[in-house]
Amino acid sequence: MSSKNRVTPEEALAYHLEPRPGKYEIIASTPMATQRDLSLAYSPGVAVPVQAIADNPALAYDYTVKGNMVAVISNGTAILGMGNLGALASKPVMEGKAVLFKRFADVNAIDIELDTEDAEEIIKAISLMGPTFGGINLEDIKAPECFIIEQRLKEIMDIPVFHDDQHGTAVICAAGLINALELSGKKIEDCRIVLNGAGAAGIACLELLKSMGAKHDNCIMCDTKGVIYQGRTEGMNQWKSAHAARTDLRTLEEAMVGADVFLGVSAKGAVTPEMVSSMAENPVIFAMANPDPEITPEDAHAVRPDAIVATGRSDYPNQVNNVLGFPYLFRGALDIHARAINDEMKIACARALAALAREDVPDEVAMAYGRKLSFGRDYIIPTPFDPRLIYVIPPAVARAGMDTGVARRPIIDMKAYEQTLKSRMDPTASILQGIHARAKQAQARMIFAEGDDPRVLRAAVAYQRAGLGKAIVVGREPDVREKLEAVGLADAVRELEVVNAANTRHLEAYKGFLYNRLQRSGHDSEDIHRLATRDRHVFSALMLQHGHGDGLVTGVTRKSAHILSLINHVFDATAAAGAVGVTALLHKGRIILIADTLVQEWPEPEDLATIAIRSAGVARSLGLEPRVAFVSFSTFGYPVSERATKMHEAPRVLDRMGVDFEYEGEMTVDVALNMDQMKHYPFCRLTGPANILVVPARHSASISVKLMQEMAGATVIGPILTGVKKPIQICSTNSTVNDILNMAVMAACKIGQ
């Protein structure tokens, strides 16, 4: 996999600044429009749930957000790998953790930064906030204070308190180790385990593995001073002493001889190839130091091809990623109103993750990663974007919580619970992640036609630095350099390939092709020369046509209709040729495709059928099973109107063609999208809400998309141009850098091709 992915300081700052500072906002979940709404939300209506909770505190889980709210708390003394930078500096990290809770498990979370290093003050502050939250996630607090704080809070609070730096790493490590040992034919109780790094995560890993059967004296813990053995006094504390082994070994190098398992939560380069060579047959190596592992998989496999290797990095197989654990642990704990997250719940999470990795991987996951994933040495831990995580892991955690008596409200119907978990998933996020992963596999050479626009240049830099492929910018190098310098990306000039008519050796070939194509359409040789040398859109299209790039992104500086007319000098991107524009709307966890938004001005029934077929192809490229609705202001013939007739006839055209996707019409939008409305028409052939809306005309498509964008805040991707022989995507003039990047990714994945 690519290791080119890197984020520049400018990109990181822009991400946290735009469109508004920070990474989340609070949105009301109940109506707040009328005086009656406000009376119910606050005074006098709020007095009723207040009294109910005063009479029965358990009702706080029913009438407030407590049951789905976690506090992410830090004092900034151990931020990522950066050290003690203070409470305020930790806020971006804690905000990030909060949005990961929401993204992966639909858990509301809010960050709290405590400006103190006094453990007693932190304990007091958090304990006083107990009534507000359903759980506490401690983060980036240095050892040994983190041990003291967590233990005391567990003793005095009646909600889960979980230090993710410790237990999150331990749970995912345990899940991977279960499968690694199965593949190597070993049992945990027989294994010699060496751990390097006696901090919070390392100690938690050994504690969990011992609770799963690892024997105390088979586990050798090392720190910067060597092996932690019984009788050692230097650099010791009570938490290290609890794991001191009876052994004559004194160094990491000695401990590694004959070891079955190495667990690293220490530093880059801590393990040498010689150490790996000395390990037992089929060694298991979890080199989890970030950002660089104790030893790379390449170096480990060079001396021990039989090794199973995991790291903390996403660009290697077997990533030990905490996001596989904490969202789902808390989801399961919150849903049983748990008093704690205990060892049994953590072990249940680890075993469920291990079992999931052994199951057949869904096609959408394989599609997202651009390769078939199956249980084996390079796949012992599920990927973070496996859609099954949300409904597999929390039930296992909840069952363990119920079995061990920490549940206030046990789940009676586990099957129904799994269904509610499935409904919490936001498919749009996984779809976008999937196409980005596929683009990274494709490594397409992407042509960015408008190299004079700073947004385009920033998107081109982001495309290349994200490891998605090669960015080719059409423009003049001095202009490109000047604009990149203005946005703080001066060093990127050396990375991008800047091309124009003045420096290409292919100009004569381009002009020859264009002349042969247009000579009978009123263009003489002078016209051809001007088009090829002065119009960057035509020049970019010629590059694509001749294979000097794999995809094209344009449209940021000119209206889409004008861009399309220029592209048609080189390609057949017309309605007659079957080209279609499909726009994806992402809103509140739903994705709807609307077509045609670009090419077809006033389509007839046969054209509408073509639009449906092209849109179905786009849907499948995105991992959706297409359900097409031909929408109008009428439903199945009423009210009667000649303008609705073609929408009634279009499904009959598809009937004759025998297509392999669901379709129906004509119908209003509410019938197409709302199953309660659809039930009034039991003969309707759609088995679920439509995800493709074919509209009567381009103007109605444009109005619909822009209305959703401006009034509802929908994310718009498109129009996606399909039905053209090469990947070309046309952005809108108000596109952001992220919009342009998304369109480049669409082109790289050949969506709709």
Q: Which of the residues are catalytic?
A: 42, 97
| DSSP symbols for 145-204 | HHHHHHHHHHHH-SS-EEEHHHHHHHHHHHHHHHHHHHHHT--GGG--EEEE--SHHHHH
CA distance 108 to 422: 17
User: Pseudo-torsion of CA 450, 451, 452, 456, nearest 10°?
Assistant: 70
For residues 560 and 598, the answer to whether their CB atoms sit within 8 Å is yes
Contact 394, 328 (CB under 8 A): yes
In sequence order, the β-bridge partners of residue 262 are 194, 285
Could you give the CA distance from residue 105 to residue 429 in angstroms, rounded to a whole number? Answer: 12
Write out 590-628 in H/E/C secondary structure: EEEEEECCCCCCCCCHHHHHHHHHHHHHHHHHCCCCCEE
Which amino acid, 589?
G
By three-state DSSP, how is residue 358 classified? coil
Angle at 61 between CA 56 and CA 64, to 5 degrees: 105
**Whole-number Å distance between alpha carbons of 280 and 86:** 43
- DSSP character at residue 694: E
Distances (CA, A) of 748 to 437, 470, 549, 663, 742: 11, 10, 10, 29, 10
Contacts of 516 (CB under 8 A, 6+ apart): none
Cα 428 to chain center, whole Å? 9
DSSP reduced 3-state for 690: coil
Classified as helix, coil or strand, 355 is: helix
**How many angstroms separate the CA atoms of 711 and 678, rounded?**
25
Conformational region of residue 267, where left means phi above 0, alpha means psi within -120 to 50, and beta covers everything else: beta
Contacts by residues 361-365 (CB-CB < 8 Å, ≥ 24 positions apart): 361/386, 362/386, 362/387, 362/388, 364/430, 364/434, 364/623
The kind and range of the H/E element at 544 are helix 536-545
Task: Name the helix (H) or strand (E) containing 474.
Answer: strand 469-474
720/618 Cα distance (integer angstroms) = 8
- Helices and strands (H and E) in the chain: how many: 31, 21
Q: Are 630 and 619 in contact (CB under 8 A)?
A: no
Q: From the CB of residue 496, how many other CB atoms can be counted at a distance below 10 Å?
A: 24
Whole-angstrom distance, CA of residue 386 vs CA of residue 400: 22
